[in-house]
Amino acid sequence: MMDTPRYKELQQLYTEQTDEKGRIDVLIEIAIEVRNYDVEEAAKMAEDIIVRSRAVAYTFGIGRGLKLKGSCHWMKGEYDLGLSVLKEALAIAVKTKDKRLEARVLYYFGNIYRDQGDLANVLTHFKKALTINEELGDEFAQSIILTSISNLLYDLNDYDSALEYALKCLPIFERAHNVSSLINVYNTLGNIYFKKEQFPEALHYFQENLGHSEFETIAYVMAESGLGKVYYKMQNFDNARKLLSNALRQSEHLGNVEVQIICQYYLGRMYMDKASYRQSLQYLNHAYTLANEYNRRHDLMSIHEMMSALYDKMGDIPKAFHHLKSYEQLKEEIFKQKIINELRNLQVRQQIELAQKEKEVAERTAYLKHQFMANMSHEIRTPMNAIVGMTRLLLSKEPKPDQLRYLNAIQLSADNLLIIINDILDLSKIEAGKIVIEHTDFSVREVLQSVQDMLLLKADEKGIQIKITTDDAIPKRLTGDPTRLNQILINLAGNAVKFTDKGYVEIKTTLRNKSNKLWIQFDVIDTGIGISSEFVDNIFDSFTQAGADVTRKFGGTGLGLTISRQLATLMNGDISLKSELGKGTVFTVVIPFEEAEVQDYELQESLLDAAAMKRLNNLKVLLVEDNEFNRLVAEETLKDLIPALRLDKAVNGQEAVSRLQNEMYDIVLMDIQMPVMDGVTATKLIRSTLPEPARSVKIIAMTANVLQEDVAQYFDIGMDAYVSKPFQVDELLLKMDAVLGNAPVRRPVKTPDQVSVASAPSKPIVVEETPIPEYKRTNSNGTPFVMPEFVTDRNFLKQFTGGNPEKMQKYISMFLENASKLLKTMDEALEAKDYLAVKIAAHSLKPQLSYMGVKEEVSHIFLIEQAAGAPAHYDTLPDRIKSLNLICNKAFEELKDISVV
């Protein structure tokens, strides 16, 4: 039966060998060839090789023989035997320092573990083998292992990555014309496409295999069974049954377990679909027995799942339940280790350099989590918006005293609920690494003041005092994240007020250490009930409060402290506590800040003044919102505050677009998630298809999606601002005022561009809105224009000049001279409406800015150049050039600072 050309060639070679070792070497090659067709025979040959090698003390031969024997055991499903033989082979490989053999043995170890469903072990073995082959530079052997890793990823249901690996190997095998490897990778590809439900591709690869393999071989029946299952999924039952039955018969004959199980499994499923439950059960039982006998846990898992479904259909609920349990248990066992690893990786991501693959998996997990959070936040916030808003409306409608009491209660509960939701979202965000720590200028004293303001009411109610003491040595303005600091202090001081019935709560701030950073210590001291020592240790863990009854008595989620600690850690700080039961507690937070460069700021109070209200008075606004209640809330609120406001409504994006075609509006308030057409699509349509002036109407997103990337996306597609729902009236009005071009002058150096977590977004970051409703941000950011902390970047110059400071200085001075000239030209040209000259100047300036590391996202110099060439966009130029001037001035400042070199 063995008559392949390769076999004949080897036979010939065998007869030509003159010494025993040479013969053994050729025999090994023959055995490998035979293994493709007849495993049993190959195993016998392997045994022969071992015996003959031992006789002449040929270690190389013994090692190879053992490896071969192990691989045959694997193919026959004799895993334990295989493992013990491979162990011997590995010992020889290590002893003789035969790297090539070691890699192969490790590879077969991996294969056996894979069949047994011990995935963690598989990965370590494959990785070791891969490293060895990489060192050896053996591309072909690497590809074989990559194929196996692809199989492994397939087992883990990560089909995209599996596909990527398999496709990487494909050309290498094709080049090498190695039929058995090709068959292997085609099989893998067929399986992956099968799972991805891309059936034509799957069919292609299985058919390819059918063509490549000899009749009545394992590869052939594999291909047949593969085709069978694809046809089954394509509902081509006749073909499927024919192929599967055929493959089953042959695989029984060949003694191949894997194909037998596959065929029986899919035949079982097919009969189940046809409601022939008895036959189905018969097949599945067979498959089960086989899988059990050979301990193929992955197959067992799938079979349990299917049997559960089958018994469910047959009405045998207890048995269905039994199989479901077994299925879940197995699934857990197989995937558990992997998942634990993933989670751990997620937490210590900054410390450990992850293997490429694991990182990708972790990112996917994080992505799913993010998706879930965004959805959850939307689902909860939409109704909350309605509740909060309606309550506010009712309160303004002079309710009766008892109604007032109820309404107040509703408002309080809603606010509490919002805080809880925000807590949970915050925590998930921190854990997903989505929290961005800002670096903006702020005043500690202002933050403390706002904390005091917020807690004053509560404290007054309880008859306790709130004291704030601040160290005079602390500079007026610091650089750091005021929002997060405020959140920590509110959490701690809020707790302190909650758990203190008499006495006082004090927030004491001291400058602890002034090195290159200012270490500031915040002590939150209370005279409350205290925390007993047994809880002190784990009080910062999630959902832990001082005693189980605390939640009932005092409310809250118990997440506040966890969040506070996580935030403090993110800011490179620390948090600790001292407490005595009955006497009180001291929470100590120590956080490093930097001293702000500019100390004397006139604080721009971006509050609504009468002038702003007047400006808003005659606006025509289009409200696009699908939720009837939210529509009502927004409408009533706006009309209450701005009586002369003209407000039209649309219930989805499509309606909004058609309204804009017929009428002029000043502002569109756009909900994001809507049926028929969502806000993002509608905005894109408005910005790209409508004629002016409707095309450039101001659009404010109103959404419960408070995640940063989402918000950044809204700005990318051309929205002008965004408010989070449930919206605060003041905030909405301020933003409306701001988008109309009345934004208060923004202070320089006022942005979050320092990202302290792993992800470093390339887009300008928009300040994340704090979801805590009561807290008014000290740096509200109404429009998408943000100035990064540094606009220039000398990396290119440094690299270009090879770090030569004189040369860098030469270019910088040239730039300083030239760019200011160009800016002046541009200003003058704009004044004179000489747009061609603007375009030319912008064109000249563009490469120079890029050499100084001023990015297009920041300067928009390319947009200016383009706009100056298109009359429709002339109106955008004054603003853009104004901000270009600001940016360039900042760039000049930065570049003049020679010390940076």
Partner 1 sequence: MADNKKQYIFLVDDEPIQNEMLKDFLSERFRYEFKTYESGETAIKDAHLNPQVIVLDYHLNSHLPDAKDGIEVLKMFKEALPATKVIMLSGQDKIEVAIDSMKYGAFDYVIKGETAFSRMENIINYVNEMTNIRAANAMYKKVIVGLCITFSLIIVGSVMLVLKMR
Minimum distance, C-beta of residue 241 to partner 1, in the bound complex (Å)? 58
* Of 301, 176, 229, 136, nearest in space to 147 by CA: 176
Residue 745: Cβ-neighbour burial (10 angstroms; 0-12, 13-18, 19+): exposed
> Quick one: 652 or 825, whose CB is closer to partner 1?
825
CB of 850 to partner 1, least distance (A): 5
By rule CB under 8 A, what string of x and - marks binding of each residue 850-889 to partner 1?
A: xx--------------------------------------
Shortest distance (Å) from residue 898 CB to partner 1 = 18
Look up residue 818 and give its two tokens.
């030239």
Nearer to partner 1, 504 or 800 (CB): 800
**Beta carbon nearer to partner 1, 554 or 811:** 811
Backbone angles phi, psi at 672, to 5 degrees: -90, -55
Omega of the bond leading into 475 within 30 degrees of 0 (cis):
no
Give me 249's structure tokens: 């018969």
* Residue among 22, 761, 847, 878 that touches partner 1 (CB under 8 A): 847
Least separation in angstroms between CB 796 and partner 1 = 5
Q: Is the dihedral of CA 521, 526, 532, 535 positive or negative?
A: negative
Q: Rg of the Cα trace of the chain? A: 35
Binding mask 454-473 toward partner 1 (x if CB under 8 A, else -) reads --------------------
**Ranges within 738-797 binding partner 1 (CB under 8 A):** 796
The residue among 663 and 856 lying less far from partner 1, judged by its C-beta, is 856
CA distance 666 to 357: 50
The answer to whether 340 touches 307, Cβ cutoff 8 Å, is: no
Among 324, 840, 886, 901, binds partner 1 (CB under 8 A): 840
Residue among 701 and 861 whose Cβ is closer to partner 1 = 861
Contact window for partner 1 (CB under 8 A) among 90-98, 212-220, 718-726, 846-854? 846-854
CB neighbours (10 Å) of residue 228?
A: 29
Q: Which is nearer to partner 1, 544 or 844 (CB)?
A: 844
Between 462 and 807, CB nearer to partner 1:
807
Collapsing DSSP to helix, strand or coil, 618 comes out as coil
278 burial via Cβ count (<10 Å: 0-12, 13-18, 19+):
exposed
Q: Given the rule CB under 8 A, which of 86-94, 117-125, 197-205, 845-853 is the region that contacts partner 1?
A: 845-853
614 vs 833 by CB, closer to partner 1: 833
The first and second tokens of residue 185, run together, are 């990778």
Q: Would you count residue 100 as binding partner 1 (CB under 8 A)?
A: no
- Which residues, including other chains, have CB under 8 Å from residue 622's CB and lie 6 or more apart? 647, 648, 649, 650, 656, 659, 660, 665, 667, 668, 669
- CB of 897: closest distance to partner 1 in angstroms? 19
Which two structure tokens, joined as six digits, stand for 132? 């060895």
Could you give the 3-state DSSP secondary structure of residue 520?
A: strand
Binder of partner 1 out of 195, 659, 776, 843 (CB under 8 A)? 843
525 in Cβ contact with 499 (< 8 Å): no
Q: Is 295 in the site for partner 1 (CB under 8 A)?
A: no
Instruction: Cite the beta strand spans of 537-619 per DSSP E.
Output: 574-580, 584-595
The CB-of-695 to partner 1 minimum distance in angstroms stands at: 25
Cβ neighbours, 10 Å, residue 373: 19
State the alpha helices, DSSP H only, in 605-652: 610-617, 628-641
C-alpha torsion sign, points 658, 661, 663, 664: positive
Instruction: Show the binding pattern over residues 800-829: x = contacts partner 1 (CB under 8 A), - = does not.
Output: xx-----x--xx--xx--x------x----
Number of residues in the chain: 901
* Minimum distance, C-beta of residue 883 to partner 1, in the bound complex (Å): 21
Site for partner 1 in 404-433 (CB under 8 A): none
Residue the block writes with tokens 């097949």: 283
The single residue listed with the structure tokens 């990337």 is 709
- What residues form DSSP beta bridges with 504? 465
Give the number of residues in contact with partner 1, rule: CB under 8 A. 20
Q: Which of residues 578-637 bind partner 1 (CB under 8 A)?
A: none
At a CB cut-off of 8 Å and minimum separation 6, what does 468 contact?
448, 449, 451, 452, 506, 507, 509
Nearer to partner 1 by C-beta: 337 or 866?
866
C-alpha 605 chain-centroid distance: 37
Angle at 345 between CA 341 and CA 350, to 5 degrees: 165
Per the structure block, which two tokens stand in for 566?
Answer: 């996580």
Nearer to partner 1, 462 or 833 (CB): 833
Q: Is 433 left (phi over 0), alpha (psi -120 to 50) or beta?
A: left
Lookup: tokens for 759? 């992800």
Q: Which is nearer to partner 1, 168 or 843 (CB)?
A: 843
Nearer to partner 1, 214 or 793 (CB): 793
The least CB distance from residue 755 to partner 1, in Å, is 23
Check whether the bond before 748 is cis (ω within 30° of 0).
no
Q: In angstroms, give the least distance from the CB of 817 to partner 1.
A: 9
The 10 Å CB-count burial string (b at 16+, else e) for 438-447 is bbbbbbbeeb
Q: Which is nearer to partner 1, 470 or 866 (CB)?
A: 866
Helix (H, G, I), strand (E, B) or coil at 478: strand
Nearest residue to 434 via CA among 772, 775, 768, 780: 768
Whether the CB-CB separation of 49 and 31 falls below 8 Å is answered with: yes
> What angle is formed at CA 813 by the lines to CA 807 and CA 816, rounded to 5 degrees?
145
Closest approach, Cβ 821 to partner 1, in A, equals 11
Among 837, 863, 886, 901, binds partner 1 (CB under 8 A): 837
Q: Which C-beta is closer to partner 1: that of 759 or that of 818?
A: 818
Cα–Cα nearest to 773, from 428, 420, 370, 497? 420
Q: How far is the CB of 764 from partner 1 (least distance, A)?
A: 20
Min dist. Cβ of residue 843 to partner 1 (A): 5
Q: How far is the CB of 444 from partner 1 (least distance, A)?
A: 41
| Nearest to partner 1 of 388, 841 (CB atom) | 841
Looking at beta carbons only, is 686 or 842 nearer to partner 1? 842
Tell me whether residue 145 or residue 819 sits nearer to partner 1 (CB atom).
819
- Cα–Cα distance for residue pair 61/54, rounded to 1 Å: 8
Residue number, 751 or 859, with CB nearest to partner 1: 859
Q: How many CB atoms lie within 10 A of CB 232?
A: 20
Q: Does 848 bind partner 1 (CB under 8 A)?
A: yes
State the nearest-atom distance from the C-beta of 797 to partner 1, in Å.
9
| Rounded CA separation 247/236 (Å) | 17
Applying CB under 8 A, the residues found at the interface with partner 1 are 796, 800-801, 807, 810-811, 814-815, 818, 825, 837, 840-841, 843-844, 846-848, 850-851
